[in-house]
Amino acid sequence: MTDPQPPDSLSRTLHAWRVTPARNPQFRAEVSARIAAAGAVDSWSGYLRGHAVTVTAALMLAVLLGAVGGRNQARSLAAADSARLASAYVESLDARAMKMP
């Protein structure tokens, strides 16, 4: 049993057929990115790259909160110390506050 011979017209069409796919200039980069993403799923650096915006915003917020908190805490302590010493200073010169030994 032999294969049937294709018709001449089909043979000619197949012979003349050329595949010319559209060139994708990002193909290599996309492949690399997908490979890297697949390999970096469990790494922290990969996590950071995947959540860059969120992580950056969280870090900036943390630094801001820390800075404001540190500044306020220092000023608050200084104000409290200053107020206490001011009261004690005045009392130290106030005969009404003194007691006989």
Please report, as ranges, the residues that interact with another protein according to CB under 8 A: 42, 44, 47-48, 51, 55, 58-59, 61-71, 73-75, 77-78, 81-82, 84-100
Please say which residue, 13 or 54, places its beta carbon nearer to another protein.
54
CB of residue 33 to another protein, shortest distance in Å: 19
Residue 41: which of 31, 49, 52, 29 has the closest Cα? Answer: 49
User: Is 30 or 91 the residue whose CB approaches another protein more closely?
Assistant: 91
Is the CB of residue 48 less than 8 Å from the CB of residue 55?
yes
Q: What is the rounded CA–CA span in Å between residue 51 and residue 66?
A: 22
